[in-house]
Structure 1
Amino acid sequence: MIVGVPWWVFLMIIFIFLSGYMAFRAMRAERELEHQFIEKEGKVYMDRLEELREQKSKREREQQGSE
């Protein structure tokens, strides 16, 4: 007993704080993964849009050239 409190109570308090810290780390890592995924998907979308713009521009030039 330390200051009238059993040792296992201190151990439980330490485990509670450790668990909170681990949950915080996991939440932060999850947010980072989510951010990377969103950036990757956004790049794929923007590349697709750019490709469609180029195709549209090419078709317009071909139509102007044939007139």
Structure 2
Amino acid sequence: MSLPIWVYVVILGIFTSAFMAIKTARADKELETEWIEKEGQVYIERMEKEKEQRRQVGESE
């Protein structure tokens, strides 16, 4: 009881599609993580600058 060749092609296509979906999801997650870390660092630097400005205003009074 042999299956037609197109059935094997469809099954191969399904596995290939699943593999590519997983690969793309991982890449997107890595990019998102990098972006979040970058934005977090920008926020921290902004907070440090603001803290330094407040310290300078407090010293000048």
Query: Could you say which TM-score interval applies, normalised by the shorter chain?
Result: over 0.9
How many residue pairs were aligned? 61
User: Structure 1 length normalisation: TM-score?
Assistant: 0.87
User: Which deviations, in whole Å up to 9, do the C-alpha atoms of 1:30-60 show, x marking residues without a partner?
Assistant: 0000001100110110000000000000011
Distance 1:31 1:22 in 2: 14
Letter in 2 for 1:60: G
- Based on CA coordinates, which of the two structures has the bigger radius of gyration? 1
Give identity over the alignment, percent.
41
Shift of residue 4, structure 1, vs aligned partner:
1.5
Aligned runs of 1:21-36 on 2, under 5 Å? 21-36=19-34
- Give distance in 2, aligned partners of 1:20 and 1:4: 25
Q: Secondary structure at the match of 1:32?
A: helix
Higher relative contact order at CA 8 Å, sep ≥6: structure 1 or structure 2? 1
Alignment of 1:12-27 (within 5 A): 12-27=10-25
The ranges of structure 1 where at least 4 consecutive aligned residues each deviate by more than 3 angstroms after the TM superposition are none
Cα RMSD for the two superposed structures: 0.7
